[in-house]
């Protein structure tokens, strides 16, 4: 079933404002985004290391005429032992600002900082890093400050003014460090029932930040935005993580050649390419599970989790099939069939990304030599990119331009999806036909679906009947 993802008239009339939230690790950037959007979409954690490892956007709709798109970024200044290295965090911010600037623009930069007793050198260093990147990419964008963790300063009699005292007390420190802002908000992101309890505090803090964003954002450009949902698949070791980094423009995905992953295991990434927001699921294709029914339990679990996530987000726009230029195997063919024929019912286009071609004089020559062979073994693509993902290679930038050009050809208007139960049944039946006869069926499958995958017994029985039918 192909679904229209947007009302086109509303897309054209609703203005988009890109709001980038940056700051040190642990200052509450994700919590701030949840406060503004009125949801819990951004993952938060009270850990020493940062929880945000990529750039992710969350929308706040205002008056049905404006969309404020808040971009969460990795924490700066985490150190070499953190979740995201300082270089990767800076690369992520630089890449995001660059790509947004190519499209609808950057409309406001929020510097999120903790309400510590005084302004430290570390805060100043983080501020300087952000401003240096801003000045090179989007110098016209205003920077505002949001000071968090001021709940202990809030009083029931005058919530706003009591937290505003932090700003008044630290004006001299900000001035000494040459930290200038176009506006500010002093807040807490905690709920009203957190200590100290103050009724109505969260609503007031939300109002403060929202008003700051509306007042200080640059006017939006009349550039229609796009969303492209891509499922990237291929065998382990073909270079999917390196391909994601090539696309994103920074090391958003960890490259781990020795990682042992389960079939259908997936990880979601989100980044910007010009006017298009890319939502990409890096998915492990068919591997070699242990023999016997229990060897496929993990794959079944992952398949059901993946289908539920796809349905929740509106479906798939494009399959991106990653293959090594020097290795087309029987498993390569099975993976193509599993995703294109089974998961997408032959309705989702497949684009090929052929990697490890750095030794070719002209990388496109590989396609000229091998296109007919691929067609003969049943691998038909709607487009292709012959590339290298070897960072630092002289053909790396050319490869980025080639793969971006390929993705720009696909419209985001249509996505494929099916009702979850039917989609799960269809996919597991197809998976079972592509692997050995030990794939679980009947009672074994029902047990896995109910005990491990937490499906209702009736649903599990219908899915099992579909597979056996």
Separation between Cα atoms, residue 110 and residue 199, nearest integer Å: 27
Q: Tell me if residue 16 falls in helix, strand or coil.
A: strand
Placement of tokens 């998961």 in the chain: 343
Helices 29-37 and 201-216 pack at an angle, to 10 degrees, of 90
- Can you give the pTM of this predicted structure? 0.69
Mean pLDDT of the region 396-424: 89
295 within 8 A of 395, measured Cβ to Cβ: no
pLDDT tier at 295, thresholds 50, 70, 90: low
pLDDT surpassing 90 at residue 181: yes
pLDDT at residue 411 in the model = 65
Q: From edge to edge, which strands make up the β-sheet containing 276-284?
A: 266-273, 276-284, 226-234, 318-324, 350-355, 383-386
Residue from 401, 410, 411 nearest 381 by CA = 410
Residue 416's DSSP bridge partners are 2, 316
Separation between Cα atoms, residue 464 and residue 469, nearest integer Å: 8
Of 133 and 293, the structure prediction assigns the larger pLDDT to 133
Can you read off the two tokens belonging to residue 373?
């062979």
Separation between Cα atoms, residue 322 and residue 358, nearest integer Å: 15
Separation between Cα atoms, residue 271 and residue 136, nearest integer Å: 20
pLDDT at residue 329 in the model = 83
DSSP state string for 88-130: HHHHHHHHHHHHHHHTT---EEEEEEE--SS--HHHHHHHHHH
* CA gyration radius, the chain: 25
Helices 396-407 and 240-248 pack at an angle, to 10 degrees, of 80
Separation between Cα atoms, residue 448 and residue 36, nearest integer Å: 41
pLDDT surpassing 80 at residue 294: no
Buried b / exposed e over 112-127, threshold 16 CB at 10 Å, is: bbebeeebeeebbebb
Can you read off the two tokens belonging to residue 82?
């953190």
pLDDT surpassing 70 at residue 287: no
Of the listed ranges 183-192, 281-290, 364-373, the least confidently predicted one is 281-290
Can you read off the two tokens belonging to residue 440?
């679980």
Of 375 and 437, the structure prediction assigns the larger pLDDT to 375
Q: What are phi and psi of 112, to 5 degrees?
A: -95, 125
Type and span of the H or E element at 67: strand 66-72
266 within 8 A of 407, measured Cβ to Cβ: no
pLDDT one-digit tens code per residue, 365-382: 999 999 999 999 999 999
Can you read off the two tokens belonging to residue 420?
């979850």
pLDDT one-digit tens code per residue, 76-125: 976 554 567 888 899 999 999 998 988 888 999 999 999 999 999 999 99
pLDDT at residue 91 in the model = 92
pLDDT surpassing 80 at residue 296: no
Separation between Cα atoms, residue 176 and residue 199, nearest integer Å: 36
DSSP state string for 399-448: HHHHHHHHHTTS-SSEEE---HHHHHHHHHHHHHHHS-TTS--HHHHHHI
pLDDT surpassing 80 at residue 6: no
């Amino acid at each position: 079933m192909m679904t229209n993802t947007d009302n086109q008239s509303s897309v054209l009339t609703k203005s988009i404002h890109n709001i980038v939230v940056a700051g040190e690790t642990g200052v509450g950037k994700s919590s701030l985004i949840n406060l503004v959007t009125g949801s819990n979409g951004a993952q938060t954690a009270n850990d020493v290391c940062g929880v945000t490892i990529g750039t992710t956007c969350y929308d706040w709709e205002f008056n049905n005429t404006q969309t404020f798109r808040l971009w969460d970024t990795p924490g700066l200044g985490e150190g070499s032992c953190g979740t995201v290295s300082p270089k990767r965090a800076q690369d992520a911010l630089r890449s995001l600002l660059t790509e947004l600037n190519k499209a609808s623009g950057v409309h406001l930069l929020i510097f999120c900082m903790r309400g510590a007793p005084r302004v430290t050198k570390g805060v100043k260093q983080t501020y300087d890093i952000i401003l240096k990147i801003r000045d090179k990419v989007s110098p016209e964008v205003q920077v505002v400050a949001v000071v968090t963790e001021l709940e202990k300063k809030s009083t029931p009699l005058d919530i706003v003014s009591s937290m505003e005292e932090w700003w008044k007390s630290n004006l001299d420190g900000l001035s000494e460090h040459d930290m200038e802002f176009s506006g500010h908000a002093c807040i807490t992101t905690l709920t009203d029932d957190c200590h100290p309890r103050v009724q109505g505090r969260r609503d007031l803090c939300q109002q403060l930040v929202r008003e700051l964003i509306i007042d200080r954002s640059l006017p939006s450009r009349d550039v229609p935005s796009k969303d492209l949902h891509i499922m990237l698949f291929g065998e382990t070791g073909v270079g999917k993580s390196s391909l994601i980094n090539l696309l994103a423009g920074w090391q958003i995905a960890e490259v781990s050649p020795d990682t042992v992953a389960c079939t259908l295991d997936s990880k979601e990434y989100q980044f910007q390419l010009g006017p298009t927001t890319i939502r990409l699921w890096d998915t492990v294709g068919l591997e070699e599970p242990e023999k016997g029914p229990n060897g496929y339990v993990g794959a079944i679990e992952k398949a059901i989790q993946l289908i539920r996530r796809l349905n929740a987000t509106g479906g798939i726009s494009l399959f991106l099939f990653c293959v090594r230029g020097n290795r087309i195997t029987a498993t390569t063919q099975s993976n193509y069939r599993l995703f294109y024929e089974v998961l997408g019912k032959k309705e989702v286009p497949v684009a090929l990304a052929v990697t490890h071609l750095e030794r070719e004089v002209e990388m496109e020559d590989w396609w000229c030599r091998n296109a007919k062979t691929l067609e003969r073994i049943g691998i038909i693509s709607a487009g292709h990119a012959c590339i290298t993902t070897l960072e630092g290679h002289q053909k790396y930038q050319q490869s980025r331009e080639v793969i971006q050009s390929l993705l720009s050809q696909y419209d985001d208007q249509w996505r494929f999806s099916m009702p979850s139960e039917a989609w799960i049944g269809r996919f597991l039946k197809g998976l079972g036909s592509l692997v050995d006869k030990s794939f679980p069926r009947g009672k074994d499958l029902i047990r896995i679906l109910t005990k491990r995958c937490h499906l209702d017994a009736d649903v599990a029985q219908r899915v099992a009947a579909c597979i056996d039918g």
